[in-house]
């Protein structure tokens, strides 16, 4: 299938690393593994930090001009995609280009990862909210990355009186596991040496990341009578505030590392710990499991769908430091659990979250979107 692709939230060649950029790149790789021919239609970025009617109407105007430019170029070239695919849209990053081109060339339109906050229907983000909603109405297929996000989209189908079963599905996130096998990773032993080596990875910015570090620090303060050492990977404006909350003789701070160097760190440790406050799902949780580490994490949003509680790690109620400490205490008191969780995590990653598994889920999603488009065409023909 010839697929035209765009990512209005962040272009895939954006120099700033992020989970959004990583997931977008992985989607392209999975599509190519599935035999699809992918073309980046545009790197136009509709995302804006601040709202306002005038500002967003200007973005919409520029986006539609870009769509016209692309359409004219495709016409001259004789190119027509089989489907237009957009990754990640919401009120701050609506997609006006994909629907316009899908209409012009009369092809299916599909979306992977759409967020919808109904409180943005009015106010400074109203134009962006409407733009995102219009894209969802046009979409022949909508994929969420986990069921928590999927459930947040159900009100859209109620409001538009349409059947979510025909267009909405969950496509779980995935990783290229070959990168983790290439670092010589050995599974943690079933009896880790004391002290247990813990690892956490997270940016040190204001908001949910700092809140996660604070929960972790509070949990570890309840475990000072147990043997553990923590390695912290990350940096940011809240570095001093965050690091001051941990006992300095029991942590090693490595600063911000490149993705390649972070991967090297995982197998040096016994257990990954991250409270995951308001975490959509967390690539670091996937990477840790791919490296053979069990995980202690917060039971937030999509996290329960990327790790099996009690099998590949343990989940604590989101934001509850004492409950997080209790889960971690279970492993500190029975260190063999770390190795057991790590082995189970690697197996689950291969079965559920590998690039090949992701390619198969994406292929099924695109075929369902194409099927919906074809049925829609038939219904429209009958109504003429």
CA pair distance 377, 384, nearest whole angstrom:
11
What pLDDT was estimated at residue 259?
A: 85
Statement to judge: residues 261 and 372 lie in one domain: no
Strand, coil or helix: 300 = coil
Statement to judge: residues 17 and 116 lie in one domain: yes
Instruction: Transcribe 227-276 into DSSP letters.
Output: -EEEEEE--STTHHHHHTTS-GGGEEEEE---HHHHHHHGGG-SEEEE--
Statement to judge: residues 110 and 254 lie in one domain: no
Statement to judge: residues 107 and 44 lie in one domain: yes
Statement to judge: residues 334 and 237 lie in one domain: yes
CATH of the domain at 122: 3.40.50.2000
Give per-residue pLDDT as tens, 256-304: 998 889 999 999 999 999 998 888 878 899 999 999 999 999 998 889 9
The number of domains in the chain is 2
Statement to judge: residues 210 and 347 lie in one domain: yes
Burial degree of 276 (CB within 10 A; 0-12, 13-18, 19+): buried
What pLDDT was estimated at residue 291?
A: 93
What pLDDT was estimated at residue 187?
A: 46
Statement to judge: residues 153 and 281 lie in one domain: no
What pLDDT was estimated at residue 194?
A: 76
Statement to judge: residues 182 and 162 lie in one domain: no
Statement to judge: residues 12 and 156 lie in one domain: yes
> pTM of the full predicted structure?
0.86
Q: Of the candidates 261, 298, 264, 263, which has an alpha carbon nearest to the alpha carbon of residue 282? A: 298
Strand, coil or helix: 379 = helix
244 phi and psi, to 5 degrees? -65, -15
Statement to judge: residues 241 and 376 lie in one domain: no
What pLDDT was estimated at residue 384?
A: 65
Other C-beta atoms closer than 10 Å to the C-beta of 50 total 9
Statement to judge: residues 137 and 221 lie in one domain: no
Structural domain for 213, as ranges = 178-352
Statement to judge: residues 170 and 193 lie in one domain: no
What pLDDT was estimated at residue 369?
A: 96
In the chain, which stretches have pLDDT less than 50?
Answer: 182-189
What pLDDT was estimated at residue 186?
A: 42
């Amino acid at each position: 299938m010839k697929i035209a692709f765009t990512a209005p939230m962040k272009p895939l060649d954006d120099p700033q690393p992020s989970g959004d950029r990583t997931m977008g790149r992985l989607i392209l790789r999975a599509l190519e593994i599935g035999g699809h021919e992918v073309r980046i239609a545009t790197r136009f970025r509709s995302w804006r930090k601040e709202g306002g009617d005038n500002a967003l109407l200007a973005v919409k105007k520029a986006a539609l001009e870009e769509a016209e430019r692309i359409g004219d170029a495709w016409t001259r070239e004789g190119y027509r995609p089989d489907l237009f695919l957009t990754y990640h849209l919401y009120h701050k990053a609506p997609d006006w280009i994909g629907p316009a081109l899908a209409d012009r060339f009369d092809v299916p339109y599909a979306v992977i990862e759409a967020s919808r906050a109904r409180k943005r229907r009015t106010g400074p983000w109203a134009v962006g909210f409407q733009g995102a909603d219009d894209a969802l109405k046009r979409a022949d297929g909508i994929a969420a990355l986990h069921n928590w996000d999927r459930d947040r989209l159900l009100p859209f189908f109620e409001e538009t009186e349409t059947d979510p079963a025909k267009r909405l599905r969950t496509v779980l996130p995935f990783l290229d596991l070959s990168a983790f096998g290439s670092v010589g990773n050995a599974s943690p032993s079933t009896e880790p040496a004391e002290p247990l080596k813990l690892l956490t990875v997270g940016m040190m910015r204001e908001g949910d990341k700092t809140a996660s570090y604070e929960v972790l620090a509070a949990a570890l303060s309840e475990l000072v009578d147990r043997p553990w050492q923590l390695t912290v990977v990350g940096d940011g404006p809240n570095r001093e505030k965050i690091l001051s909350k941990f006992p300095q003789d029991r942590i090693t701070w490595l600063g911000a590392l490149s993705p390649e160097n972070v991967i090297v760190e995982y197998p040096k440790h016994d257990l990954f710990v991250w409270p995951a406050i308001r975490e959509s799902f967390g690539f670091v949780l996937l990477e840790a499991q791919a490296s053979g580490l069990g995980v202690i994490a917060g039971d937030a949003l999509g996290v329960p769908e990327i790790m099996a509680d009690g099998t590949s790690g343990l989940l604590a109620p989101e934001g509850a430091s004492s409950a997080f400490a209790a889960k971690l205490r279970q492993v500190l008191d029975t260190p063999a659990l770390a190795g057991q969780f790590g082995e189970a995590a690697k197996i689950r990653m291969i079965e559920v979250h590998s690039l090949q598994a992701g390619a198969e889920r994406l292929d099924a999603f695109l075929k369902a979107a194409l099927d919906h488009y074809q049925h829609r065409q038939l219904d429209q023909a009958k109504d003429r």
